[in-house]
Structure 1
Amino acid sequence: MATALYGREPVFTAAMDEFFEHLGAEGTRMRADWLSSTPRVPMDDASRAQPLLFAVGHALARDVMARGVRPVALLGHSVGELAAAAVADVFDLAGAARVMSARSAAMAEVSPGGLLAVAAAQDELAPYLGPAGDPAGVAVAAVNAPRHTVLAGPEPALREVERLLTQGRVPYRRVPSLQPFHCPALDSAARRFAAGFAGVPLRPPSVPIMSTRTAGIVRPGQAVDPAFWAGQLAGPVLFWPALDALLADGGYTLVEAGPGQGLSMLARRHPAVRRGRGAVIPLLPADAEGTTRVWHEALDRLAAHDPAAR
């Protein structure tokens, strides 16, 4: 979660501190949990994981941009799409803090559930899914790659799907999450979340955003519609279709601005990248070790790709 950069990288630190300050007392508690080896609130809980994923992604992007890197497009996975919206000036950081607080409040009323990452194509998993739109059933939560699909749902329906996947010898693993994101179980939460945008000024993006909700560029009318951003909470993340659409018109240097290297791993599988039409640069390590080393190596690689970067 990039804690090794806090206090060492001025732009990153300032962006994190500004976000925490806009959250008030909760921001103070969140920063303490983020920096602690024994957080008061578990880091897998949505009230911590989601705002911090947003904040770290936004702060990393701001730091890289301050060094002269200018993104030509943004693509965010799940809450990363809200970080992309903040980087693209759809809302300012004060507005982002209000939006993320509303998201956490909406999630607080969600029944326990979780996510399963399954090594299978989306159409192969149809027998394991509940009826379309059923908030009590399991649904596709993300299409991350052709054979990397995430399922989500409330307990105990998710446990039953785990049993069936095990019985069918379909490889899967639990994703660290205590809530069932991006499925019909969150329809009510998405409506509560939309109400939390009240009073937050929204603007068309200053940088094109390839949405993982639609797998298309966010249109100006969508960008200023709270329901568009809030609906993402209950809809599947179309990461691979969005990446595919982005890479259809040329090669890019893809920079992963977030914890871990999960999206970098997926992006490297794309045929365009494998053919050499793009480079993939993660800003942070795959685990907690070597944060500063990977960060500086990434900056060196970025400078080699973009002479304006420093």
Structure 2
Amino acid sequence: MNDHRTAPAASAAPSEAEEIRLFRERHGLAGLIDIHTHFMPERVLHKVWNYFDTNGPLIGDLEWPITYRKEEAERTALLREFGVRSFTSMLYPHKPGMAPWLNAWAADFARRTPDCLHTATLFPEPGVETYVRAAVEAGARVFKAHVQVGAYDPADQLLDGAWGLLADAGVPVVIHCGSGPAPGKHTGPGPVARVLARHPRLRLIIAHMGMPEYEEFAGLAERYGEVRLDTTMAFTDFTERFMPFPPGALPRIAALGDRVLLGSDFPNIPYPYVHQLHALERLELGEEWLRAVCHDNAAGLFDL
């Protein structure tokens, strides 16, 4: 008698959320903390997306499709589906007068999004210390500084009081100060080193591991105990093609394991979110290092 049973259908590829769940299970992670995600007023975010779409000057010739071009509610839901228990709303001005308005938006976003760390920003301008103080008093947990986009010197005297205030308050600052993907007038380790010489207790988190000046920024973290690095886009296939991390520097990153934090650049990334996690996993720096980077270091820094 012929057997008319049909062969089982091929298993569907796992969803990205499932892939991330499996990653967390492999490494004993109840959740992730991502300290470099972007939420900002929709019209501002759409301008950012247009900048990537049209290969703005700071992008160069890179093809950079936005993987998560979704509405705000969909993006927050997706992070939660990925198991991200806390994230940020990294936003930044490119001219004077924008920061107070952005800070007001971010405060409202934090009120309606309890798993978002209340984020604020700043710019070298008269009155910056006043609105930075107001943001801290309103509960800001983390600041964003974008030296490349803002085209300003972080060591500008106009910012000195604000840096001192943030150092005294112990509020971390995620700062894009490396010269990737394209150099700016004030990018690189020199200007940041001048800031730290004046404010050695300032909790700077160097975005993108400082790419491409990875080793120079690692040196600042080795010298200053409150300097940290975030993994945003580092070690991914995309970045390794044009700004590879020097393999010889990996032991330094392993030794700094208590001061490396997970960052992704979600939603503005040209690949799936899970790829950042796999890129960290394949460094093979150990289970303890990976758990610390993906969760524990940020949990300790932000008392989560």
TM-score, normalised to structure 2's length? 0.30
> TM-score with structure 1 length normalisation?
0.29
